[in-house]
């Protein structure tokens, strides 16, 4: 089934954001993900398929 993504997790994607950061916080999980750039704070919606394909690493949120 793949990696279990959860709200609050930090994912590192293959391609970086134009601000220079490649780490994103997951704000919403579903068919589309809402991600927040940890460099500049911009929020984007991106399809689940693209996130799963381009994920390099994932840091689970600390409880």
pLDDT tens for the chain, residues 1 to 63: 567 899 999 999 999 899 999 999 999 999 999 999 999 999 999 999 999 999 999 998 766
Question: Are the C-beta atoms of residues 11 and 51 closer than 8 Å to each other?
Answer: yes
Query: Does residue 1 lie in a domain region?
Result: no
Contact 20, 38 (CB under 8 A): no
Domain presence at residue 5: no
Specify if 31 maps to a domain: yes
Range(s) of the domain holding residue 26? 10-59
Across the beta sheet with 23-28, the strand order is 43-47, 32-37, 23-28, 10-13, 55-59
Q: How many domains does the chain have?
A: 1
Residue 2 belongs to some domain of the structure: no
CA distance 40 to 45: 15
Domain-embedded: residue 52: yes
pTM score: 0.88
Q: Do 35 and 27 contact (CB within 8 A), yes or no?
A: yes
């Amino acid at each position: 089934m793949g990696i279990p993504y959860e709200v609050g997790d930090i994912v590192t994607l293959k391609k970086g954001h134009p601000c220079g950061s490649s780490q994103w916080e997951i704000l919403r999980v579903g068919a589309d993900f809402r991600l927040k750039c940890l460099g500049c704070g911009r929020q984007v919606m991106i399809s689940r398929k693209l996130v799963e394909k381009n994920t390099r690493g994932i840091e689970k949120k600390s409880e």
